[in-house]
Chains A and B, each alone.
Chain A
């Protein structure tokens, strides 16, 4: 190992300083002196941006992580990605199977643990029916893992109780895309961010939750100072630092604001009549087809001056936002949990699509409604492969007999042998555990005891139910309720595919061997299924490569075409965007456009074709304003909202293991507006008690102007101060996604 002069002097100085102090130098994880033996291509473990990474391995150990220059992120990583390596070597890693004996989790052999788990599944199915067992997965599991688990439960055990945490984060976005365009997933890609001249960001703190995309937006504005950025959010976050217009809305007024922007666009005649006349149907909330004039009448209730009090946004700002949106040459909308985690999240999604459809700002480079996702493989693993209780792979539905029959044929099952009844959605599933109807659950790579809303209510069910968990970290609170724990190979310890926000699928290649007795989750799932008694012919796989090949075949001939995304290509290329029908197809940047989308024949007469809908027209839905399930008022005058911070990711089981992050950001806090704080005598750092109808909790205050007056914010990463004990579990009747973002609370200095 070569040591530079500079390093030698530095080390010598450090060594003498340590000698003088009489202490030995501490072991450091990695530094400039360590030489990387080989770089292995992968995808970041954290958010849905899906940044490409290169994992630096030395002596069989990951010592550093850098950005993949060939992936969409062009080498850039955020602070979490740049400090990913230590997570792998956390001392909290589960490395042996564990089973609960006399209330304690103790080490066991693989055989013992697998047999115990399998016997409980068999027992429950024999005693009642297949609906008494369930799978609760994750947008962090590999595509192959989710596809396999879904097949084991739906085809092998005949239980459609297959759910996952994406129900908590993007079910409303799915509902929005499906109801407006007929097919799930965005039509655009990150390339649109480099061409947009207007960004409309609503309900997203892009800067902290998708930092690498935020950098791309900021770079776009830097390259062209005429680019306009509109942020609509009740919090003035770091994202607003680059905004030209920040609309500080009242929580729960999103639907009214979006309709009001449509009002301005239509009344100022900024709509693209030629586009919407040809490619759009206008529909009432009751699915009745109407004309553009009826839509205008519907919008009459949303004149900016009439809703400014409700929205808390000056009418002039709504007008300005609408004008910028419609008059810019290319507009991209971005949204995330602020829109999705609402009791009318699907409607809010529809209304964003409406703005693009009436202005024709869609299907052109730089113009697209792009929903941001929170997890690395929620789009890929769960949405596309059908890892939810009402879905079958590639956009097929359980309730449709024709769809079931297609899968039965492909999976080599007798006709009409799949269970025709959709399973329980996430919140109903955990309620069924409370009620004792679901008796055994398998969770994979998720931490529901922290991430569910109104979480205390559901811990009863977690205790009652026999819990089998595949979980990498022993300090995940959900393991308090686990009866069997299987240790999985983590991140780059096995090979598999992640699919990110822009429909891009990329391979996470195995870089190192898993520690202890950890095994890839696909092998754990296969072993468990065989012991439960699933037909071996259904799961004839050796590894995740075999599962990927089957998924490609299952997706072929559907609009979700993965056939050309072979394992070999994924090894060479840093991600490919579906639809991709053949091995020489480069992947698709823009869907629904002739010449771009391989699902549209080149001789199709029209430029656009929304083939998800029977008549090829997208839908402009007339969705009315709907307040939150529990708006602030009366005894609970404040609105409580929750969210993420840039340092931590989800339940902090990973970011909590990075010393730099854990020590700079150990605790949750409550953000209070300066005016509110002054009125109540709260100073920075004071203890503040938050009380909702579900409980109370005390946090240190951070006083500032991020939150609007009347709003308080608490990040949800901290298991010690678990804000989800206070959040509400009201759900969107369409998407079944809970309204984490808004509930009423009291604020009191203690």
Chain B
């Protein structure tokens, strides 16, 4: 009787383990096939569809705060678009795809004097973004408060 119980228990354990494996496996399979290795949802769109590299259009819907922050930031006003710093999510771009661009390589392309100055003062930083927010470094004070874009937004 005890043996039978033990056998039954073992069966249940095995079944649960098997189910867990199948469940876990399917999740793994889904994530690995539905989302590419770079773990950016946009990567799968890049393989098909026109203007797939136009990150902003989708991010305006999926991550509206980030998209709007960028639009209002200096980078947004100057049209420094997503791919300039981040590359293409499927890794086919001319620069490496990175969610956190390397200051030494990416930022230096335009801000070499500033990066060099900071490096001299404090050593090379891993992230310029810690202090100078890439997306929300807005145009300071109210210089543009009376400009056309603000007027339009208020209306």
Closest Cβ–Cβ distance, residue B33 to chain A (whole Å): 8
Q: Residues 37-62 of chain B: 1 if any A CB is under 8 Å from the residue's CB, otherwise 0?
A: 11100000010001111110000000
- Check: A3 CB closer than 8 A to any chain B CB: no
User: Is B141 a contact of A225 with CB atoms below 8 Å?
Assistant: yes
Q: Which residues of B are found within 8 Å of A646, using beta-carbon distances? A: 79
User: Is B143 a contact of A225 with CB atoms below 8 Å?
Assistant: yes
Q: Which residues of B are found within 8 Å of A32, using beta-carbon distances? A: 96, 102, 104-106
Q: Which residues of A are found within 8 Å of B143, using beta-carbon distances? A: 221-222, 225
In the bound assembly, the distance between CA atoms of A83 and B112 in angstroms comes to 16
Give the total of A residues in contact with B, Cβ under 8 Å: 62
- Check: A26 CB closer than 8 A to any chain B CB: yes
Among the stretches A170-178, A234-242, A338-346, A429-437, the one at the interface with B is A234-242
User: Is B81 a contact of A79 with CB atoms below 8 Å?
Assistant: yes
In the bound assembly, the distance between CA atoms of A370 and B36 in angstroms comes to 49
User: Is A20 a contact of B149 with CB atoms below 8 Å?
Assistant: no
Pick the residue among B46, B54, B84, B93 that contacts A665 (CB under 8 A): B54
Please name the residue on chain B nearest to A669 by beta carbon.
B51
Most buried by B among A79, A215, A222, A664: A664
Pick the residue among A222, A225, A240 that contacts B148 (CB under 8 A): A240
Please name the residue on chain A nearest to B111 by beta carbon.
A75
User: Is B37 a contact of A659 with CB atoms below 8 Å?
Assistant: no
Please name the residue on chain A nearest to B81 by beta carbon.
A79
A83/B84 contact (C-beta < 8 A), A67-B109, A75-B110, A77-B109 known: yes
Q: Which residues of B are found within 8 Å of A245, using beta-carbon distances? A: 148
Closest Cβ–Cβ distance, residue B22 to chain A (whole Å): 18
Please name the residue on chain A nearest to B91 by beta carbon.
A26
User: Is B105 a contact of A31 with CB atoms below 8 Å?
Assistant: yes
Please name the residue on chain A nearest to B149 by beta carbon.
A241
- Check: B134 CB closer than 8 A to any chain A CB: no
Q: Which residues of A are found within 8 Å of B32, using beta-carbon distances? A: 17, 20-21
Pick the residue among B37, B80, B96, B144 that contacts A221 (CB under 8 A): B144
Q: Which residues of B are found within 8 Å of A661, using beta-carbon distances? A: 83
- Within residues 120 to 155 of chain B, which ones have a CB less than 8 A from any CB in chain A? 126, 139-144, 146-149
User: Is B95 a contact of A30 with CB atoms below 8 Å?
Assistant: yes
A243/B84 contact (C-beta < 8 A), A31-B105, A74-B113, A214-B78 known: no
- Within residues 84 to 115 of chain B, which ones have a CB less than 8 A from any CB in chain A? 84, 87-88, 90-96, 102, 104-106, 108-114
Pick the residue among B90, B94, B106 that contacts A29 (CB under 8 A): B94
- Check: A65 CB closer than 8 A to any chain B CB: yes
Main SS of chain A's interface residues? mixed
Give the total of B residues in contact with A, Cβ under 8 Å: 51
In the bound assembly, the distance between CA atoms of A30 and B91 in angstroms comes to 11
- Check: B77 CB closer than 8 A to any chain A CB: yes
- Check: A211 CB closer than 8 A to any chain B CB: yes
Q: Which residues of B are found within 8 Å of A662, using beta-carbon distances? A: 53
User: Is B79 a contact of A658 with CB atoms below 8 Å?
Assistant: no
Please name the residue on chain A nearest to B37 by beta carbon.
A17
- Check: A663 CB closer than 8 A to any chain B CB: yes
Please name the residue on chain B nearest to A22 by beta carbon.
B32
User: Is A211 a contact of B112 with CB atoms below 8 Å?
Assistant: no
In the bound assembly, the distance between CA atoms of A659 and B126 in angstroms comes to 27
Q: Which residues of A are found within 8 Å of B102, using beta-carbon distances? A: 31-32
Closest Cβ–Cβ distance, residue A34 to chain B (whole Å): 8
User: Is A77 a contact of B105 with CB atoms below 8 Å?
Assistant: no
Closest 7 CB pairs of A and B: A664-B53, A663-B53, A31-B96, A17-B37, A660-B83, A32-B102, A86-B94
Sample of 18 more A-B contacts, CB < 8 Å, known A77-B110, A660-B84, A665-B54:
A17-B38, A23-B37, A32-B102, A67-B109, A74-B113, A76-B110, A78-B78, A78-B80, A79-B79, A79-B80, A221-B143, A221-B144, A229-B147, A231-B148, A238-B77, A659-B53, A663-B53, A664-B53
Query: Could you list some 18 contacts between A and B, CB below 8 A?
Result: A17-B32, A20-B32, A20-B37, A29-B94, A29-B95, A30-B94, A64-B109, A67-B110, A75-B112, A77-B109, A82-B109, A222-B141, A229-B147, A241-B148, A242-B147, A246-B148, A664-B55, A665-B54
